[in-house]
A and B are shown apart, each in its own frame.
Chain A
Amino acid sequence: MTTNYETREHDVLIIGAGGAGLRASLEALAQGASVGVVCKSLLGKAHTVMAEGGIAAAMANVDAADNWKTHFRDTMRGGKFLNNWRMAQLHAQESPDRVRELEQWGALFDRTENGDILQRAFGGHTFKRLCHVGDRTGLEMIRTLQDRGVQQGIDVYMECTITRLLIDGGRVTGAFAYWRETGRFIVFKAKSIVIATGGIGKAWRITSNSWEYTGDGMALAYEAGAELMDMEFVQFHPTGMVWPPGVQGILVTEAVRGEGGILRNKAGERFMEKYDPKRMELSTRDVVARSIYTEVKEGRGTEHGGAYLDISHKPAEYVKKKLPSMYHQFKELADVDITKGPMEVGPTCHYMMGGIRVDAETAQSTVPGLFAAGEAAAGLHGSNRLGGNSLSDLLVFGRRAGLAAAQYAKRASASSFDNSQIEQAEKELLAPFSNSGSESPYAVHRDLQAVMQNLVGIYRTREDLEKALVELEKLRVCAAKASVGGSRLFNPGWHLSYDLKAMLIVSEAVTHSALARTESRGAHSRIDHPNLDPIWEKKHNIIVRETGAMKRRESPIEAMPEELKQILAEDKS
């Protein structure tokens, strides 16, 4: 059985082909490494393609007063100071160069009167900071990166899923995968690995995320012994579609509010006046999401249980030009003309602030040779991410991860591993075909989504979280027994059975961490602990696997250098 796979070898293996994975691969290539990129979908379909609003970078093209220090301060404030300050600093300092570089590779952004890259306002950003292309910035970014990657000679393994990292002497040396198309196995030998697999939204029922966002990268790292950090911080984007049912959760870009969109409740009240009179609709996402949730909960929601978001006071041509895909999305899927009337919107599970714990400079995890960047990594965003900081995160830390992974590979000895790991991985992957359980992975997935949606949502309580842990344990047993029919040829039910395992691991990590954090901070809101607790500002939640079981620890936040403290102290507003 062990010979039944093909083997490929690279210096650096990158898992995930969104913005972070592609930017990492370009940097590793530039270092002279041989690079393989593995992705679950076709190239160019990763979630980056859906990013709409823009890339945050203090280029000061529109607001001349902007600079990295303000961007740093906004990011730290948005994250309620739980951010890794060094990451927030590097991110703010390096984003403008990363955007310019993208432009030099052919990306075409909207322009100012002077011919510079145009920047728009976004929640939590002091200045107009988001470089954008209408509302399809992510598409421009991923095409630019993917075309450059293909041109420069990365090897892309499309529709291929990694199910296990291979370990030798405490460092990662390879990965086991299967081809989605044929169901055949493939083993990668690599001197270093970058995880850039994105988030975990598919564990919730209402989400903006596609099927791919099942937390596999975090689960792989966890199983390889890496630490996960601050897993309780799951961002619910305030504005997802709520009607019709099939489109529930699909993202409505924050650019609608950036361009002047107004939120109202059933009674026509501009309710953000109550929750954040200063920043109104452009408050941070955690605040706006909770505000909409509260309006609906207290009976002031719209017909389909959301809030109204209205941009129709702007000229129709302007709306169509600045928000073309929103215009089409509502017109075609919801029969709503957003130039004439309001949209109905409500919170949707969108982004994971927590993830694999990494070193700020190198993006290396706590396991040697294993790196992580983008949404799969934790640290930059603290307890709440600002809109626009994700695309810049992908570029800044994708580059850093690719650089450090290539440098690590240069020093590392050749990849080797014990083949018993491959035998185990094969056995585990094929188990659903011979399982006796009557439930299909789809049924277990629906149950998991209900648990996370109802018990680990925007507002949390101890009772709910404890109940969720009990339910998750039951689901783990069900999932391990779930059976699939058919062959190994492109079989989505079988594919889901592995994704389900990853979702269960990250869901448990989220729930454990949420239970422990007895305060409300950023995206984590505990009804039974509604306030910030200064003690929790000083530590991270860490999840790690020990002797086969999930363990939680706390880790103190490193003291911030004086010069950064001063930046935060300036402008107390």
Chain B
Amino acid sequence: MKEATLRVFRGDSDGGQTVDYRVPVAPGMVVLDALHYIQGHLAPDLAVRWNCKAGKCGSCSAEVNGRPRLTCKTRMDDLPQDQPITVLPMKSFPRIKDLVTDVSWNYRVNSKIPPFEPRKGVEWKISQLDVDRVQEFRKCIECFLCQDVCHVLREHHKKEQFAGPRFFVRIAGLEMHPLDGGNRAGLLKDQLGLGLCNITKCCTEVCPEEIRITDNAIIPLKERVVDEFYDPLTMLFRKIRGR
């Protein structure tokens, strides 16, 4: 049987180094299979998060050969076999151990977002067309790869000012829900730092669900914020109405 070398980060918040493991390669094998082989045969204490192994839960995120990916959807045969495959934890989050990082910040951000708020007196009739429009955002599996790759978080560490692509996607899903009556524009502008995104589209590139995060979520939300706060007509109207 063919073999591959996995070069996996071993360590914790105090530091660590990569360790090489030789792993037999079966047809169709994915990186997560290789990590499971290491756990089962070579290093039972290797810390890895995973659940569904089918690209539906978003637990097994890591950086494979430098690219943020779901390890359950990364095929070994898509990677060069003549050199070690490096598997590192997501860089934007504090390390806990090996490939497991502390993603609790995401859950704190999420709790700031006002929930779905049905408009008063709605009849619960929706057209499929309206459903289709927001389905894309609701596909998000919360793998946090977009958060990992986003330079505002990864390089500039603006976790206090910036919610990150994941939560712009969530808000887009709420704002464009056909029956939602809430308004999250102020929140986006003042607390979630939407303006810090300079639309480099890195998030869209790594999204395993192929959500067009920048084009379909972030840009329309930016437009909403502009309409609400920077549109001269609206500003004038607001002045006249005194609010």
- Nearest 3 Cβ contacts at the A-B interface: A244-B28, A493-B44, A106-B116
**CB within 8 Å of B: which residues of A?**
41-47, 49-50, 100, 103-106, 108-111, 114-116, 118, 133-134, 136, 139-140, 143, 147-148, 150-151, 158, 181, 210-212, 243-247, 250-251, 325, 328-329, 332-335, 440-443, 446, 484-487, 489-494, 496
CB distance from A328 to the nearest CB of B (A): 7
Known contacts A244-B28, A333-B28, A485-B45: does B57 contact A210 (CB below 8 Å)?
yes
Query: A492: which B residues are within 8 A, CB to CB?
Result: 39, 44-48
Chain A, Cβ-Cβ closest to B51: A210
9 A-B pairs with CB atoms under 8 Å apart are A45-B52, A50-B54, A104-B124, A150-B110, A181-B100, A245-B27, A486-B45, A492-B45, A492-B47
- B54 near A211 (CB under 8 angstroms)? no
Known contacts A41-B51, A489-B97: does B58 contact A494 (CB below 8 Å)?
no
Instruction: From A100, A109, A118, A491, give the contact of B45 (CB < 8 A).
Output: A491
- B110 near A106 (CB under 8 angstroms)? no
> How far does the alpha carbon of A140 sit from the alpha carbon of B50 in the complex, in Å?
20
Query: A106: which B residues are within 8 A, CB to CB?
Result: 115-116, 174, 177, 180
* B201: interface (CB < 8 Å): no
- B116 near A446 (CB under 8 angstroms)? no
CB distance from A16 to the nearest CB of B (A): 14
* B200: interface (CB < 8 Å): no
- A111 near B127 (CB under 8 angstroms)? yes
Most chain B Cβ neighbours within 10 Å, of A140, A143, A487: A143
- A111 near B28 (CB under 8 angstroms)? no
Chain B, Cβ-Cβ closest to A440: B44
- B44 near A151 (CB under 8 angstroms)? no
CB distance from A100 to the nearest CB of B (A): 7
- B115 near A148 (CB under 8 angstroms)? yes
Known contacts A105-B116, A111-B126, A211-B51: does B57 contact A45 (CB below 8 Å)?
yes
Chain B, Cβ-Cβ closest to A446: B40
Segment of B80-88, B134-142, B157-165, B228-236 engaged in the interface with chain A = B134-142
- A110 near B47 (CB under 8 angstroms)? no
Instruction: From B54, B97, B111, give the contact of A150 (CB < 8 A).
Output: B111
- A251 near B54 (CB under 8 angstroms)? yes
CB distance from A152 to the nearest CB of B (A): 9
Chain A, Cβ-Cβ closest to B45: A486
Instruction: From A118, A134, A484, A490, give the contact of B44 (CB < 8 A).
Output: A484
- A212 near B28 (CB under 8 angstroms)? no
- A116 near B125 (CB under 8 angstroms)? yes
* B98: interface (CB < 8 Å): yes
CB distance from A446 to the nearest CB of B (A): 7
Instruction: From B100, B126, B141, give the contact of A490 (CB < 8 A).
Output: B100
- A210 near B44 (CB under 8 angstroms)? no
Known contacts A103-B124, A140-B138, A440-B44: does B27 contact A42 (CB below 8 Å)?
no
CB distance from B148 to the nearest CB of A (A): 15
* B118: interface (CB < 8 Å): yes
> How far does the alpha carbon of A151 sit from the alpha carbon of B115 in the complex, in Å?
7
> How far does the alpha carbon of A478 sit from the alpha carbon of B164 in the complex, in Å?
48
Chain A, Cβ-Cβ closest to B108: A150
Known: A246-B33, A333-B28. 4 other contacts (CB 8 A): A151-B111, A212-B51, A329-B54, A446-B40
* B151: interface (CB < 8 Å): no
> How far does the alpha carbon of A45 sit from the alpha carbon of B60 in the complex, in Å?
11
CB distance from A394 to the nearest CB of B (A): 17
Query: B141: which A residues are within 8 A, CB to CB?
Result: 49, 139
* B214: interface (CB < 8 Å): no
- B39 near A100 (CB under 8 angstroms)? no
> How far does the alpha carbon of A238 sit from the alpha carbon of B128 in the complex, in Å?
31
Query: A496: which B residues are within 8 A, CB to CB?
Result: 44
> How far does the alpha carbon of A461 sit from the alpha carbon of B233 in the complex, in Å?
79
Query: B197: which A residues are within 8 A, CB to CB?
Result: none
- B49 near A250 (CB under 8 angstroms)? no
Known contacts A210-B51, A440-B44, A494-B45: does B96 contact A110 (CB below 8 Å)?
no
Query: B127: which A residues are within 8 A, CB to CB?
Result: 111, 115
> How far does the alpha carbon of A354 sit from the alpha carbon of B155 in the complex, in Å?
51
* B30: interface (CB < 8 Å): yes
Most chain A Cβ neighbours within 10 Å, of B44, B53, B59: B44
Chain B, Cβ-Cβ closest to A488: B45
Known contacts A151-B115, A245-B27, A440-B44: does B125 contact A42 (CB below 8 Å)?
no
Query: B97: which A residues are within 8 A, CB to CB?
Result: 181, 489-490
Query: B40: which A residues are within 8 A, CB to CB?
Result: 440, 442-443, 446
